[in-house]
Amino acid sequence: MSDASRDDHGADGASGAERGTATKIVHAGRDPRRFDGFVNTPVVRGSTVLYPNYDDLIHHRARYTYGRHGNPTSESLQVALTALEGGDGVVLTPSGLSAVTTALLAVAGSGDHVLVVDSVYRPTRNFCDGLFARLGVETTYYDPLIGAGIAALIRPNTKAIFLEAPGSQSFEMQDVPAIVAVAKARGITTLIDNTWATPVFFKPHAFGVDISIQSGTKYICGHADVSIGTISAVGDALRKVRVTYSALGMTVGPDDIALAARGLRTLAVRLAHHQKAALEMAEWLAARPEVSRVLHPALPSDPGHAIWKRDFCGASGLFSLILKPVPEAAVAAFFDALTLFGMGYSWGGYESLAIPFDCKDYRTATRWEVEGPAVRVHIGLEDTADLKADLDQAFARMREVAAG
């Protein structure tokens, strides 16, 4: 595997000066001089790497040794993401979920215990309750608001604490510094799913987190056309992730990597629009008579706003809202009336999306009790006036059906 912590190509690492996030996004990992002046790193497709002589072959003396272990295309994205994350290196996986599972498998095994936030992405929970449990790893779910109180849940065999901030669907904010402080005092590895904020708006390693995970399918790619995951890690955690990744035999196709790299270059400007538009839409929705409340940590009214404001420097386009009580038929009418908001289980792309959800059946450390139907929305890159008009007519249809 190529060493993504080695920033020996690309403008970001050459000068030794710390550059801004937007500059890193544009320049890190690129070296046009290496590729005859072409701005983008070429897409290298290949499995076999030929060695010039016998001695180099038996000693694996080459920058690249085998297609699955890396090539210029994958290395370019790894170097760029390493510069953005601020860790020691990045591993690429075929999906966001595979990034989560690879990272967890790297830090815990049979007989170990892990702590996972109760508001975690549901497929992560399914892995912990399924395959991880069959491998002999015990999972305890904890209240996302527990903070330093997590110390009471730690056992002698606790190997890792998994965080996600804000929480998937329900958007609780975790006190990351408080939890990390407890973990470090006990020698416990910390992992976080940072897909919502990306390293543009929150840098986990700067807060002491050992492993930062993203579903690059979402904001890194940004165009709803690629599945990819990223794992950024520091120190011995990076070594463990690399060993596990190699043992699992995973690889990401070069065309998917190239699309992810292309999406990355516009990440900062897209997130700026997502943030502005989502806040405008969240405030507009909060004032709607059909809406009971909006779950968005960047809103001053949100219970997690103080923590978000302290630790984060921005907010993405994903948030939730709780409707006032209406029959299910009225909720269905609302969704079916939408024309600009698509119904799909993803987010982070240029398009706006909306889905219903209910966390009640898969929470164990906390209770999900809300006053009405819950809706998660992703605000895309459309004009907000058009999005408001779409929601307005959908709400009108919902009221009609609710009234009978």
Of residues 139, 24, 135, 122, the one with CA closest to residue 82: 24
Place of tokens 């708006």: 201
Q: Active-site residue among 121, 141, 142, 245? A: 121
Tokens coding 145: 């608001």
Tokens coding 160: 């890792």
What is the rounded distance in angstroms from the CA atom of residue 281 to the CA atom of residue 357? 19
Active site residue 193: yes
- Residue 270, classed as helix, strand or coil, is helix
Active site residue 122: no
In the 8-state DSSP scheme, what is residue 347?
-
Active site residue 142: no
Q: Active-site residue among 24, 218, 270, 376? A: 218
Task: Give the gyration radius of the chain's Cα atoms.
Answer: 22
Q: At what angle do helices 384-403 and 267-286 cross, to 10 degrees?
A: 40
What is the rounded distance in angstroms from the CA atom of residue 33 to the CA atom of residue 172? 46
What is the rounded distance in angstroms from the CA atom of residue 41 to the CA atom of residue 262? 10
Active site residue 362: no
Side-chain-facing half-sphere of 12: CA atoms under 13 Å: 27
C-alpha distances out from residue 334 to 28, 133, 289, 302, Å = 44, 39, 14, 25
Backbone angles phi, psi at 2, to 5 degrees: -65, 150
Q: Active-site residue among 19, 34, 68, 324? A: 68
Q: Active-site residue among 193, 210, 256, 390? A: 193
Backbone angles phi, psi at 66, to 5 degrees: -165, 150
8 A C-beta contact, residue 205 and residue 232: yes
Which pairing describes strands 211-215 and 229-233: parallel, antiparallel, or unpaired? Answer: antiparallel
8 A C-beta contact, residue 99 and residue 48: no
Tokens coding 44: 């290298």
Query: 3-state SS string over 35-93?
Result: HCCCCCCCCCCCCCCCCCCHHHHHCCCCCCCCHHHCCHHHHHHHHHHHHHHCCCEEEEE
State the catalytic residues.
68, 121, 193, 218
